[in-house]
């Protein structure tokens, strides 16, 4: 079976005025479809950098990344954007919902970008808001939602185009313990429905839910726990 | 959701910013609209003024217009021109300076005007009393048609006596006082805020000048036959009379455009450019600040696969929305402002009543909107560049940490 994403000797260096900083050192990584992986490690160890590479929003300084067998380095920016739109879903620590749109419109936006028809968009948006338990908050704007509700809308938005891979960067970082647990439950359901998940977190509860747990240290990937 | 709808929602979500931008563009756009009207206003107004007189060619003694040299043998020249097949009508225009000496009133400067008989209806419109032919030949007083302004200033009405002394250069005090009678009050086409106007017959005009001058004229007005172009009449006059110079209305307007009105055109060009620069800076600054405030959102949208084109078109629509609304508001605002400015400028001395500095033309409104649209597009270039070229990962990291 083709891995959904595979990194070979991934290194990412950031040029800084005081000298280059290597955030990722020779990381090799493979992920099967529908796998659920948690990546933990101290701040600044390269977790988010790896997540950004896996999500095709950044490019490695050296090494190669294959997404569903395609070498990402050989793809144009519009092809990478298309992969992100159709095959990858992102969930961010700070949600990044559009404040001028309500929950329904935020979830509908990626579908409209993909060119889905109105009827299909309506059905999918209704389904997703119901899925994350926010059907009754569909017409509320982000400013009218709690942190947990905003993150659930963000998860619904990330799932809008039925991605093969869901990437979450500290999804419970802004939430209290109970709300974080609700989000963890939601990820369990997403995974159970067949979506691969990579979650970068400091939250041990969330990390324990993953089927595979990787620990990073100083830009290198440790052995599976 | 379309880019246009997203732009509208973005603008509506920050009403204060949107209102500020729209108000700024409206004010700047109003100034731009006024400058565009000013750039052509005098020319358009001047052309209309010349055209509505009914004459399309003017003949003077020198090759500059307006001429400062009297045209001699005016009657003979006019008769010669009238014989040309291209010509329908010829009118001699004579003016001189004079002073009206009404008892109990201060001496008042007037412009003494004489037109060829029959041309009066194209020089003035009687509003009270009768025209110059009203006095019979047995009457000893000379007939005078005076302007409303002169009538008001000196309390004159039809039938009022009007003692007048012509002012000939170097011999003013030597000329006798001639008794005129007001026969009518009229609106004069070329009256301005300079001396009041008083029109009379050729005989009375000569009597007032006490034969100081012979048969001279300031200008001879020529009307071409309906099927004849003014340039053909000019060529025919040039072929017949080498001692005079003929100008079509078009040529006169062009000369004024090159000389007298060039200052207004240059001023309006400079001010138009400056106002466009202000509009550009205002919209570019507001959009750039707005984009910088939502870099995290833009980066997140890009991470979710929203294309650069969508991000760019949303920003361009947002710019178009702000500039378009402000631009539309600027039209009535500019028009109101132009009315006030026109009134101020027309208060300057020697400006004919029919002349306007700000003249509305539909094509100017289109130019105005096109210039604002181009400015809006140009103003969106930098914010679009920032939004579409931002490094997604670095921006997400920075926005999360900050």
Instruction: Please give the pLDDT value at position B192.
Output: 65
Q: Does the pLDDT at position B170 exceed 60? A: no
| Partner A contacted by B297 (CB < 8 A) | yes
**β-strand A196-200 against A36-40: which pairing, if any?**
parallel
Instruction: Please give the pLDDT value at position B134.
Output: 63
Q: Does the pLDDT at position B385 exceed 90? A: yes
Q: Does the pLDDT at position B171 exceed 70? A: no
**β-strand A212-217 against A196-200: which pairing, if any?**
unpaired
Task: Compute the average pLDDT of residues B381-397.
Answer: 92
B297 vs A77: CB contact, 8 Å cut-off?
no
| Partner A contacted by B212 (CB < 8 A) | no
CA triple A170-A172-A173, angle to 5 deg:
65
Task: Compute the average pLDDT of residues B100-122.
Answer: 81
What sign has the CA pseudo-torsion A24, A28, A29, A30? positive
Residues of chain B numbered 332-391 and touching chain A (CB < 8 Å):
391
The pLDDT > 70 percentage for chain B reads: 92
Instruction: Name the minimum distance, in Å, from the CA of A150 to any CA of chain B.
Output: 14
Q: Which two tokens stand for residue B108?
A: 């008042």
Cα dihedral value B249, B254, B259, B261, nearest 10: 80
Residue of A nearest to B307 (CA): A81
pLDDT tens-digit profile of B200-215? Answer: 887 788 777 766 556 7
Is B269 in contact with B40 (CB distance < 8 Å)?
no
Instruction: Please give the pLDDT value at position A192.
Output: 93
Q: Does the pLDDT at position B120 exceed 70? A: no
Is B272 in contact with B255 (CB distance < 8 Å)?
no
ipTM: 0.90
Give the pLDDT band of residue B386 (cuts 50, 70, 90): very high
Q: Which two tokens stand for residue B177?
A: 């006082």
pTM greater than 0.95 (yes/no): no
Mutation target for A interface from B3, B317, B393: give the one with most A CBs within 10 A: B393
**β-strand B57-60 against A220-224: which pairing, if any?**
unpaired
Is B71 in contact with B244 (CB distance < 8 Å)?
yes
Residue of B nearest to A102 (CA): B9
Alpha-carbon distance of A181 to A186, in angstroms, equals 9
| Partner B contacted by A174 (CB < 8 A) | no
A100 vs B396: CB contact, 8 Å cut-off?
no
| Partner B contacted by A84 (CB < 8 A) | yes
pLDDT tens-digit profile of B261-303? Answer: 777 788 888 988 998 999 899 889 988 998 898 899 899 999 9
Instruction: Please give the pLDDT value at position B216.
Output: 82
Instruction: Name the minimum distance, in Å, from the CA of A38 to any CA of chain B.
Output: 19
Alpha-carbon distance of B363 to A118, in angstroms, equals 42
Instruction: Please give the pLDDT value at position B173.
Output: 56
pLDDT means per 10 residues, chain A with 225 residues, are: 90 90 91 93 90 92 93 91 94 91 95 93 95 94 93 94 94 88 92 94 90 91 73
B13 vs A169: CB contact, 8 Å cut-off?
no
B306 vs A82: CB contact, 8 Å cut-off?
no
Instruction: Please give the pLDDT value at position B267.
Output: 86
| Partner B contacted by A48 (CB < 8 A) | yes
Give the pLDDT band of residue B67 (cuts 50, 70, 90): low
């Amino acid at each position: 079976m083709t891995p959904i994403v595979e990194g070979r000797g991934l290194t990412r260096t950031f040029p800084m005025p005081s000298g280059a900083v290597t955030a990722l050192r020779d990381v090799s990584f493979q992920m099967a479809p529908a796998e659920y992986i948690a990546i933990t490690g101290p701040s600044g160890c390269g977790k988010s950098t790896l997540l950004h590479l896996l999500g095709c929003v950044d490019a490695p300084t050296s090494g190669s990344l294959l997404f569903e067998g395609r070498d990402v380095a050989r793809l144009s920016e519009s092809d990478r954007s298309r992969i992100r739109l159709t095959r990858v879903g992102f969930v961010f620590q700070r949600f990044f919902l559009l404040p001028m749109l309500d929950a329904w419109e935020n979830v509908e936006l990626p579908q409209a970008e993909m060119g889905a028809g109105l009827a299909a968009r309506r059905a999918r948006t209704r389904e997703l808001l119901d899925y994350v338990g926010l059907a009754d908050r569909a017409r509320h704007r982000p400013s009218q939602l709690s942190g947990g509700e905003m993150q659930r809308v963000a998860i619904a938005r990330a799932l809008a185009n039925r991605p093969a891979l869901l990437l979450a960067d500290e999804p419970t970082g802004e939430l209290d313990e109970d709300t974080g647990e609700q989000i963890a439950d939601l990820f369990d359901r997403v995974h159970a429905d067949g979506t691969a998940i990579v979650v970068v977190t400091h939250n041990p509860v969330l990390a324990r839910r993953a089927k595979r747990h990787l620990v990073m240290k100083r830009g290198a990937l440790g052995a599976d726990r | 959701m379309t880019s246009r709808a997203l732009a509208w929602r973005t603008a509506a979500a920050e009403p204060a910013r949107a209102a500020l931008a729209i108000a700024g563009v409206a004010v700047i756009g109003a100034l731009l609209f006024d400058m565009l009207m000013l750039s052509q206003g005098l020319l358009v107004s001047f052309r209309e003024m010349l055209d509505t007189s009914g004459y399309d060619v003017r003949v003077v003694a020198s090759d500059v217009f307006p001429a400062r040299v009297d045209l001699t043998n005016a009657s003979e020249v006019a008769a010669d021109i009238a014989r040309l097949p291209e010509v329908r009508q010829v009118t001699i225009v004579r003016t001189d300076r004079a002073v009206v000496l009404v008892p109990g009133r201060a001496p008042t400067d007037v412009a003494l005007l004489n037109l060829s008989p029959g041309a009066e209806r194209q020089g003035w419109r009687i509003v009270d009393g009768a025209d110059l032919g009203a006095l019979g030949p047995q009457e000893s007083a000379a007939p005078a048609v005076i302007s409303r302004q002169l009538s008001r200033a000196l309390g004159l009405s039809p039938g009022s006596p009007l003692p007048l002394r012509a002012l000939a250069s170097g011999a003013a005090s030597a000329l006798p006082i001639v008794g005129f009678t007001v026969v009518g009050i009229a609106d004069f086409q070329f009256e301005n805020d300079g001396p009041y106007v008083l029109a009379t017959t050729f005989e009375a005009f000569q009597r007032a000048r006490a034969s100081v001058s012979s048969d001279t004229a300031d200008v001879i007005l020529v009307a071409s036959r309906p099927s004849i172009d003014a340039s053909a009449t000019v060529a025919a006059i040039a072929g017949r009379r080498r001692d005079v110079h003929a100008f079509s209305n078009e040529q006169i307007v062009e000369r004024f455009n090159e000389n007298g009105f060039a200052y207004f055109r240059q001023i309006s060009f400079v001010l138009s450019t400056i106002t466009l620069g202000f509009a550009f800076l205002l919209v570019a600054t507001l959009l750039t600040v707005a984009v910088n405030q939502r870099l995290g959102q833009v980066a997140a949208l890009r991470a979710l696969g929203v294309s650069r084109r969508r991000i760019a078109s949303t920003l361009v629509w947002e710019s178009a929305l702000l500039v378009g609304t402000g631009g539309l508001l600027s039209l009535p605002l500019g028009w109101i402002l132009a009315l006030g400015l026109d009134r101020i400028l027309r208060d300057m001395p020697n400006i004919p009543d029919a002349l306007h500095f700000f003249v509305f033309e539909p094509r100017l409104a289109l130019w105005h909107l096109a210039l604002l649209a181009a400015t809006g597009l140009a103003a969106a270039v930098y914010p679009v560049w920032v939004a579409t070229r931002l490094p997604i990962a670095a921006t997400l990291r920075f926005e999360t940490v900050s």
